[in-house]
Amino acid sequence: ARMYRRQIICRSDIDSLNAPFLAIFESLIPPEEEKAKQKQLITLLERLVSKEWPEARLYLYGSCGNSFGVSKSDIDVCLAIEETDMDKSEILLKLADVLQSDNLQNVQALTRARVPIVKLKDPVTGISCDICINNVLAVVNTKLLRDYAQIDARLRQLAFIIKHWAKSRGVNQTYQGTLSSYAYVLMCIHFFQHRRPAILPCLQEMETTYSVTVDDIECAYFDQVEKLRDFGCYNKENIAQLVWGFFNYWAYCHDYANAVISVRTGSIISKRDKDWTRRIGNDRHLICIEDPFETRHDLGRVVDKYSIKVLREEFERAADIMQNDPNPCVKLFEPY
């Protein structure tokens, strides 16, 4: 049986792991030329789209817009369009048509996907791109994540390392019941809000300086993050300690039976309060991560009774490596 809230003292040589973890972070940052190529592709897409729909706009969302994108990420683009006499599938088919004509490769409209998209690959830059229609909430949560990243540099460091770990270990695949990158970044933000002293504030509990209403959901928070640059300064933990703490939290301290992590409130709330105690349809709520804006949405909903075991064993493996392994920076990321 697992033991919860086990008191573990961090290994004494943890500080010596800081430099190697920082080096891994640095190696994952996309180089400037890659950013430039992304911009080039976006400019091309904007030009093609505006020929057909002069009023439409393209927004970046996901990892290339939220600052948590590692090198060689695909780009996620949202087409914002007020088209009244076409439904989404028709717009997507039309969009695929518009893009096809200009030698882009593999332009494909996936109209039946959970999130319908047009997929394409740019032969010049080699970049793959997914374009969705009017997914404004994704654009807004992308801004929220980017704003959090600007408050404390350690958030990007931790999230890059956790994403890299999750990809290496095969636990970043929602179609196999493990978690999305978006979910992992929210787990990192929650962890920083929860740390004592706290490293991040809860922007949605502060004075509103930014507000939009999307599909009847009011998205409001404090976005003047340049004023919060000192927020985390009382916490002196370095990235190695935080990686250790993150895995320790998810291996031994999180109350999977009752707790929901909530970046929106900056705290933990109970499954009972959200009525997430029972399985409804395919939502089992075995690990509960509340979406900051779509509060009825549990990002852990993809996790099933098999994959929860896989995930928790991976958290425990990682916690054990961070505690005991002589060379955690290698062992942690070993392919599964």
Judged by the rule CB under 5 A, the positions of this chain that interact with Mg ion are: 62-63, 76
Query: Please, which residue, 178 or 248, has the CB nearer to ligand GTP?
Result: 178
Is 138 a binding residue for ligand GTP by CB under 6 A? The answer is: yes
Q: Can you tell me which of 66, 67, 157, 248 binds ligand GTP, judged by CB under 6 A?
A: 66
CA angle 293, 72, 170 (to 5 degrees): 70
Residue 7 CB, shortest distance to ligand GTP, in Å, is 34
Residue 182 CB, shortest distance to Mg ion, in Å, is 8
Site map (CB under 6 A) of ligand GTP, residues 12-41, x = contact:
------------------------------
Could you say which of ligand GTP, Mg ion, none residue 138 binds, taking C-beta under 5 to 8 angstroms by partner kind?
A: ligand GTP
Sign of CA dihedral 94, 98, 103, 104: negative
Q: Can you tell me which of 38, 67, 125, 141 binds ligand GTP, judged by CB under 6 A?
A: 141
Query: Please, which residue, 174 or 258, has the CB nearer to ligand GTP?
Result: 174
Using the contact rule CB under 6 A, the part of the chain among 70-78, 196-204, 246-254, 257-265 near ligand GTP is: 70-78
Compute the distance between CA of residue 203 and CA of residue 222 in angstroms, rounded to an integer. Answer: 5
Residue 293 CB, shortest distance to ligand GTP, in Å, is 9
Is 157 a binding residue for ligand GTP by CB under 6 A? The answer is: no
Of all residues in the shown chain, the one whose CB is closest to ligand GTP is: 62
Site map (CB under 6 A) of ligand GTP, residues 260-299, x = contact:
---------------------------------------x
Q: Can you tell me which of 173, 180, 267, 323 binds ligand GTP, judged by CB under 6 A?
A: 180
Q: Can you tell me which of 38, 73, 178, 262 binds ligand GTP, judged by CB under 6 A?
A: 73
Taking the C-alpha atoms of 25, 26, 28 and 33 in order, what is their torsion angle to the nearest 10 degrees? 160
Query: Please, which residue, 68 or 244, has the CB nearer to ligand GTP?
Result: 68
Compute the distance between CA of residue 68 and CA of residue 224 in angstroms, rounded to an integer. Answer: 19
Q: Can you tell me which of 134, 181, 193, 241 binds ligand GTP, judged by CB under 6 A?
A: 181
Could you say which of Mg ion, ligand GTP, none residue 168 binds, taking C-beta under 5 to 8 angstroms by partner kind?
A: none
Is 63 a binding residue for ligand GTP by CB under 6 A? The answer is: yes
Query: Please, which residue, 186 or 240, has the CB nearer to Mg ion?
Result: 186
Query: What secondary structure, in 3-state letters, does the chain show?
Result: CCCCCCCCCCCCCHHHHHHHHHHHHHHHCCCHHHHHHHHHHHHHHHHHHHHHCCCCEEEEECHHHHCCCCCCCCEEEEEECCCCCCCHHHHHHHHHHHHHCCCCEEEEEECCCCCCEEEEECCCCCCEEEEEECCHHHHHHHHHHHHHHHHCHHHHHHHHHHHHHHHHCCCCCHHHCCCCHHHHHHHHHHHHHHCCCCCCCCHHHCCCCEEEEECCEEEEECCCHHHHCCHHHHCCCCHHHHHHHHHHHHHHHCCCCCEEEECCCCEEEEHHHHCCCCCECCECCCCEEECCCCCCCECCCCCCCCHHHHHHHHHHHHHHHHHHCCCHHHHCCCCC
Q: Total residues contacting ligand GTP (rule CB under 6 A)?
A: 17
Residue numbers of the site for ligand GTP (CB under 6 A)? 61-63, 66, 68-69, 73-74, 76, 138, 141-142, 174, 180-182, 299
